[in-house]
């Protein structure tokens, strides 16, 4: 009988033909046990291709829903059913339908950080990694961007497209302020600054780059980058340190913590695999419409 928790998870994972996918903001020990760690785009690409019977999603609810949208016959487990994304809950499908009535003829582009029901009401989906690329494929100049106003503003500036922006935001990223960036630059004058596009525009304006979480990981790996100030959720530093020994990384703000991402623990992963719950399953009527929106995104990249 396997006695340590990691061994027990690996044993059950094998027995159940499961794959463990983890987001870059997961606790270090959860990242270390995962088969794959990545950003939202990479995780949905992995979920679309896996031949495992069970997907253990170490992330937040909308990510597990996306895996379920792409894999209706597989069991998708979210080890803590309460791990949600507050931004995803800043709009629901009724509010979106109402907004669409106010804006006839608009194309709805929705951030992947959204519920399946909201995706089902949307034309396109995007992540922070491919938002600019997805937007550049859309001919219409009447765009409603749902629901991160700051990512929407970032994409609008990069593409030159004017958009209606739903006023959603990430409570974790808005904690990073321009004062934080200025302070870190003063303390670490040789360091580059990279932030997530969910940050406020004033913060993005002070950075050298704004990138998705895996974009930040790739930026840090560049040989010329020796010191980096990182404006996103602090747990990304686990992977940055692990993959770049000898380089220096500084969180822009120690307050940038996503409590929902921290809800997944090794104990909960073990229990989830053992009990085969909590299961995330998107109802078929919503899934089919949401899949059309997610597929358009996956076809662009
Ligand atoms: P990424 O797609 O960049 O990993 O971002 C996900 C997220 O929730 C950021 O807050
Ligand atoms: Fe949602 Fe922000 Fe947490 Fe990402 S960091 S899951 S956007 S609350």
Mean of all residue pLDDT scores within the chain: 96
**Sign of the Cα pseudo-torsion (85, 194, 265, 73, in order):** positive
* pTM of the predicted model over 0.75: yes
List of E strands, 100-204: 107-111, 124-126, 143-146, 163-165, 192-195
Q: In this structure, are 180 and 247 located in the same domain?
A: yes
Minimal-distance CA residue to ligand 1 atom 3: 212
Q: For residue 160, what pLDDT is reported?
A: 96
Minimal-distance CA residue to ligand 2 atom 3: 258
Question: 256 lies in a domain?
Answer: no
Q: In this structure, are 164 and 293 located in the same domain?
A: yes
- Ligand 1: residues with CB < 6 A are 24, 39-40, 113, 127-129, 170, 196, 198, 212-213
Unique residue bearing structure tokens 């974790």: 172
32 pLDDT higher than 80: yes
Q: In this structure, are 156 and 294 located in the same domain?
A: yes
Q: For residue 1, what pLDDT is reported?
A: 46
CATH number at residue 38: 3.40.50.10800
Distances (CA, A) of 179 to 183, 252, 280: 6, 10, 40
DSSP string, 190-245: T-EEEE-TTS-HHHHHHSSEE--HHHHHHHHHSTT--EEEEES-TTHHHHHHHHST
Pocket test for ligand 2, best of 60, 61, 91, 255 (most atoms within 8 A of CB): 60
For residue 75, the cross-strand partners are 54
Q: For residue 145, what pLDDT is reported?
A: 98
**pLDDT tens-digit profile of 33-91?**
999 999 998 999 999 899 999 999 999 999 999 999 999 999 999 999 999 999 999 99
Q: Which atom of ligand 2 is nearest to the CA of 59?
A: 6
Q: In this structure, are 100 and 152 located in the same domain?
A: yes
Domain that holds residue 56: 2-84+261-283
Minimal-distance CA residue to ligand 2 atom 2: 170
Q: Is 105 left (phi over 0), alpha (psi -120 to 50) or beta?
A: left
Question: 199 lies in a domain?
Answer: yes
Ligand 2 centroid, distance to 105 Cα (angstroms)? 30
Minimal-distance CA residue to ligand 1 atom 1: 39
* Long-range CB contacts for residues 150-155, cutoff 8 Å, separation at least 24: 150/174, 150/197, 150/198, 150/199, 150/200, 150/201, 150/204, 151/111, 151/197, 151/198, 153/201, 154/197, 154/201, 154/204, 154/210, 155/126, 155/131, 155/197
Ligand 2 centroid, distance to 104 Cα (angstroms)? 30
Give the whole-number percent of the chain exceeding pLDDT 90: 96
Q: For residue 300, what pLDDT is reported?
A: 85
DSSP string, 14-46: HHTTEEEEEETTS-HHHHHH-SEEE-HHHHHHH
Torsion of CA 193, 198, 201, 204, to 10 degrees: 10
**pLDDT tens-digit profile of 141-151?**
999 999 999 99
Question: 13 lies in a domain?
Answer: yes
For residue 48, the surrounding DSSP H or E stretch is helix 40-49
Q: Which residues have CB under 8 Å from 162's CB, separation 6+?
A: 141, 143, 156
Distances (CA, A) of 127 to 130, 155, 284: 6, 11, 23
Q: In this structure, are 8 and 76 located in the same domain?
A: yes
Q: In this structure, are 53 and 198 located in the same domain?
A: no
- Ligand 2 pocket, 170 CB below 6 A? yes
3 pLDDT higher than 70: no
């Amino acid at each position: 009988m396997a006695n340590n928790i990691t061994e027990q998870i690996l044993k059950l994972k094998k027995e159940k033909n499961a794959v463990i996918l983890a987001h870059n903001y997961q606790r270090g020990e959860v990242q270390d046990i995962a088969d794959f760690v990545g950003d939202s785009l990479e995780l949905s690409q992995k979920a679309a291709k896996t031949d495992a019977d069970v997907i253990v999603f170490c992330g937040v609810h909308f990510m597990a829903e996306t895996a379920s949208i792409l894999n209706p016959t597989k069991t998708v487990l979210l080890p803590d059913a309460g791990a949600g994304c507050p931004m995803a809950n800043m709009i629901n499908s009724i509010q979106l339908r109402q907004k669409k009535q106010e804006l006839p003829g608009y194309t709805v582009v929705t951030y992947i950080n959204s519920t399946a029901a909201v995706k089902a009401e949307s034309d396109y989906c995007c992540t922070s990694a491919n938002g600019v690329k997805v937007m550049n494929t859309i001919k219409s100049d009447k765009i409603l961007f749902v629901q991160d106003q700051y990512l929407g503003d970032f994409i609008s500036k990069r593409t030159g497209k004017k958009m209606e922006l739903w006023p959603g935001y990430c409570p974790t990223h808005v904690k990073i302020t321009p004062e934080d960036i200025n302070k870190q630059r003063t303390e670490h004058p040789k360091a580059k600054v990279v932030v997530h596009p969910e940050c406020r525009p004033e913060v993005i304006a002070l950075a050298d780059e704004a990138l998705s979480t895996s974009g930040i990981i790739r930026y840090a790996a560049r040989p010329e980058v020796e010191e980096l100030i990182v404006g996103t959720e602090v747990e990304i530093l686990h992977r940055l340190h692990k993959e770049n020994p000898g380089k220096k990384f500084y969180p822009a703000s120690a307050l940038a913590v996503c409590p929902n991402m921290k809800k997944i623990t090794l104990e909960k992963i073990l229990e989830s695999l053992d009990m085969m719950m909590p299961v995330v399953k998107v109802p078929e009527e919503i899934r089919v419409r949401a899949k059309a929106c997610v597929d358009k995104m996956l076809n662009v990249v």
